[in-house]
Amino acid sequence: MFGLSLAKRDEPLWGGQTRSVLTGVLIALVLGALLLWLNGNDPVEVYLKMAESAFGSKRAISNTLTRAVPLGLAGLAVAVAGSMGLWNIGAEGQIIAGAIAGAWVARVLPDAGGAVLIPLMLIGAVVGGGLLALLPAVARARLGVNEIITTLMLNEIILRVVRYLVNGAWKDPLSLGFPQAPALPAQAALPGLFERSNIGLLIAAAVLAAFGVYSARSKWGYELRLAGSSEKTAQYAGISLKRKIVTVLTLSGAIAGLAGGIELTGSSNRLVEGVANGWGFAGIIVAALALMRPSGVAAVAVAFGAVQVGGLAIQTTGVPSSIASILQALILFGALAAGVFSQYRLVRANSTSMAVASV
């Protein structure tokens, strides 16, 4: 009986990460075009509308980059943990924790000037996200508890905390029944750059660039990759895995918390239940598309932000909003499949021989 299996290539195919992502995008566009055609839409017209909405004007570019900021930071948070073979599924909750901590700083220092208040709010957000990730980190390092379970469970817990705050202790008495905290002081808003974008874009870009370079060229980054690829080799090299796990997962949560702080001071201007807006879960997709490499997160976040902005825009042409979500899923699966086949090849086997199937 004939069957198919995967065999590791002697050398990865040329292009690596970039090739995988571009291949995934191409597969998604082809399958998306078929889906649009079956739905009675002109694929070329829809894709041109998406491109124009994402990059066709200064305002369109600002919309795309504004969405790329939380996507990039959430993706970086997941990728930093993923570099060591850990899965932080709690970025959504850590974004909320960061926003809560930032809002608390504004409540404590309502009269502080913007030059003082904004940095303190962002530092508070970093601490808030890091603290939420610290418990799963310690549980994983000391007790061997799976971090996927603990980080995922904490999402629900912190969601209930923010729900309690905006409906109770911190509820705005002037909100007319809407669950939200009072508006932040005017000086707590991040200064703008152009159109809808603000300096949160520069902060996120600096963080992404710093981690991309540092993880690729530093001893810390090398140890991270070594620990992720082989625990025994890392232990032989004298790397403390327990300390590394605590450090990396806490840092991952801190980066996600920063995303919450930037969202609070840049877009929301007040704490609301939906402050995370699904960015944490989308960050998992961004990190996966970047193959868990911090260096590739920024480009993927911009591309993913463009798909989201374009997906919202094509609804005005009568295209169902679900099409954009399907395109995102197709890009993910296409890129992951391309990534797998850049490292492996399909082989067909029978009882007596192995014949390589061309891929």
User: How many residues are listed for the chain in this entry?
Assistant: 359
**How would residue 335 be classed by pLDDT, with cut points 50, 70 and 90?**
confident
Give which of 135, 155, 162, 124 is closest to 258, Cα–Cα: 124
> Is there a domain that residue 51 lies in?
no
Cβ neighbours of 10 (radius 10 Å): 6
Coil/strand/helix, residue 325 = helix
Alpha-carbon span 270 to 85, nearest angstrom:
36
Top pLDDT among 308 and 130 is at: 130
Coil/strand/helix, residue 276 = coil
Beta strand 354-356 pairing with 344-349: antiparallel
Residue 66 burial (10 A CB sphere; 0-12, 13-18, 19+): buried
> Is there a domain that residue 4 lies in?
no
> Is there a domain that residue 5 lies in?
no
Alpha-carbon span 358 to 317, nearest angstrom:
41
Alpha-carbon span 225 to 167, nearest angstrom:
44
Top pLDDT among 182 and 19 is at: 182
Top pLDDT among 318 and 250 is at: 250
Provide the residue type at 328 as one letter.
Q
Sheet bearing 3-8, strands edge to edge: 3-8, 344-349, 354-356
Q: What are 188-239's pLDDT values in tens digits?
A: 999 999 888 999 999 999 999 998 888 888 888 888 888 877 777 777 777 8
Q: Which residue's structure tokens are 């877009």?
A: 267
**What is the reported pLDDT for 12?**
65
> Is there a domain that residue 211 lies in?
yes
Is 224:232 a contact under the CB 8 Å cutoff? no
For the record, the structure tokens of 216 come out as 């690729």
**What is the reported pLDDT for 13?**
64
> Is there a domain that residue 290 lies in?
yes
Which residues span the domain enclosing 114?
62-302
Cα separations in angstroms, 352 against 6, 319, 345, 355, 356: 17, 52, 19, 10, 14
Average pLDDT, the chain: 86
Alpha-carbon span 112 to 218, nearest angstrom:
38
> Is there a domain that residue 237 lies in?
yes
Count CA atoms closer than 13 A to 137's CA, side-chain side: 22
Alpha-carbon span 277 to 283, nearest angstrom:
11
**What is the reported pLDDT for 354?**
46
Q: How many domains does the chain have?
A: 1
Alpha-carbon span 282 to 304, nearest angstrom:
9
User: What predicted TM-score, i.e. pTM, was given to this entire model?
Assistant: 0.87
For the record, the structure tokens of 96 come out as 């909320």
Alpha-carbon span 26 to 334, nearest angstrom:
8
Residue 44 burial (10 A CB sphere; 0-12, 13-18, 19+): exposed
> Is there a domain that residue 150 lies in?
yes
Q: Which are the contacts of 139, defined by CB distance < 8 A and separation ≥ 6? A: 145, 147, 150
Cβ neighbours of 151 (radius 10 Å): 30
Top pLDDT among 38 and 77 is at: 77
> Is there a domain that residue 42 lies in?
no
Alpha-carbon span 303 to 286, nearest angstrom:
9
Residue 267 host element (H or E)? none
Coil/strand/helix, residue 192 = strand
Coil/strand/helix, residue 75 = helix
The average pLDDT across 253-259 equals: 97
Q: Which are the contacts of 358, defined by CB distance < 8 A and separation ≥ 6? A: none
